Amino acid sequence: MATFPRISKSKQQKPTRSPILLLISISAIAIGFFWLFSSSSSSSSSFPLSKASAVSSSSSSSKKKSSDAESGGMEKKYLYWGDRVDCPGKHCASCEGLGHQESSLRCALEEALFLNRVFVMPSRMCINPIHNKKGILHHSGTEISEERWAAGSCAMDSLYDLDLISNTVPVILDNSKVWHRVLSTSLKLGERGLTHVEGTSRNDLKMNSLYSNVLLINRTASPLSWFMECKDRKNHSSIMLPYSFLPTMAASKLRGAADKIKGLLGDYDAIHVRRGDKIKTRKDRHGVARSLHPHLDRDTRPEFIQRRIAKWIPPGRTLFIASNERKPGFFSTLSTRYKLAYTSNYSSILDPVIENNYQLFMVERLILFGAKTFVKTFKEDDNDLSLSDDSKKNTKIWQIPVYTMDEEGS
């Protein structure tokens, strides 16, 4: 992985002309004429380079677009946010969960799409150990080694299909040869090659020629989290990539595993039950336990789940459950009404491909999305069905948990 150098303004000077540069320029022009001559003589197309590129970018497949990004052609422009999601920033020394990192990654991809630039994606994603408990798989004596689950990061292309992403936003990895060529070229070009920006709006980056004509933009994002650059995401007209974008861009082997499981499930419904870290409590100065989601522990217990989903999912249906609840048999009482299914029922499909809980959750999401009726833990959009009416957003208000239908939190 290349370490991005910091360049002082004094070093960002316009390159001086030299005989060597002149020789390189003449050679480049000669090669360009040779390419154009060869193109015009072929039967495929006689478009100039710019038009041919435009036609290619609008009609090629995902693999073609990814290979274009990897071609190393300096006619493209690039956007770099950092060598880790949310880094630079306060999370450099820590690691957020998959959903948090995806929000940040989606924000960066949106900016690249808006600027019509190739996004330089971190080659690895950090894994938060809190969200990578092996027991979440509901396995005992599994063949998956503990060492594989103890890893602190995983390859980005083990989670996402980069060719598929490149069909919408061209991406390259920051450990690729093309990135090293781009970085090397940008340093040689001086002000035309590289610019460092911080606190600059997307519109300025696109409209101001000081930025728009530069080969590589090195973006120093919000010191909080990358997704803070997308502050107006509540304005739906400003959203270029929906929440479902990255979940549907899962790596080919993960999509294949999900398809096999969906085929075995047949006609099914699904619920996502978020417990774990979301139901944690802390005591106030009077020793009273309080929670950020006061109804969630109650709402995600099987007796309350059954009451909640009865109006949406009739008895006798196959119900796929995805959850971070680690207690064995926690949802078993739901089996009196539904045919329950978990990912642990399909270990023969998952064990060969799943190396960490991020990959497992990505497979589970694809299964959830394929259900006839899908009930989420929290309502995220107006049309969502949810187990709880508590807000998913951290309100920073610690309240007394409510465990019955009659209690009121305070």
Q: Is residue 328 part of a domain?
A: yes
Whether the Cβ atoms of residue 398 and residue 290 lie closer than 8 Å to each other: yes
Q: What tens digit of pLDDT does each residue of 27-56 get?
A: 444 444 343 334 433 333 332 323 333 333
Residue 59 pLDDT exceeds 60: no
- From CA 247, how far away is CA 193, in angstroms rounded? 34
On whether both 269 and 240 belong to a single domain, the answer is no
User: 248, 263, 298 — which closes off a domain?
Assistant: 248
On whether both 284 and 335 belong to a single domain, the answer is yes
CATH number for position 339? 3.40.50
Q: How confident is the model at residue 89 (pLDDT cuts 50, 70, 90)?
A: confident
In total, how many domains does the chain have?
A: 2
Q: Is residue 186 part of a domain?
A: yes
Length of the chain: 410
- From CA 198, how far away is CA 205, in angstroms rounded? 11
Q: Is residue 403 part of a domain?
A: no
Structural domain boundaries, residue 267: 251-386
On whether both 199 and 267 belong to a single domain, the answer is no
Whether the Cβ atoms of residue 363 and residue 258 lie closer than 8 Å to each other: yes
Q: What tens digit of pLDDT does each residue of 271-308 get?
A: 999 998 899 999 999 999 999 999 999 999 999 999 99
No. of H helices and E strands in the chain?
14, 14
On whether both 280 and 381 belong to a single domain, the answer is yes
On whether both 107 and 236 belong to a single domain, the answer is yes
On whether both 258 and 337 belong to a single domain, the answer is yes
- From CA 280, how far away is CA 276, in angstroms rounded? 7
On whether both 308 and 218 belong to a single domain, the answer is no
On whether both 273 and 316 belong to a single domain, the answer is yes
pLDDT at 144: 46
On whether both 282 and 244 belong to a single domain, the answer is no
On whether both 114 and 256 belong to a single domain, the answer is no
Q: What tens digit of pLDDT does each residue of 104-122 get?
A: 999 999 999 999 999 999 9
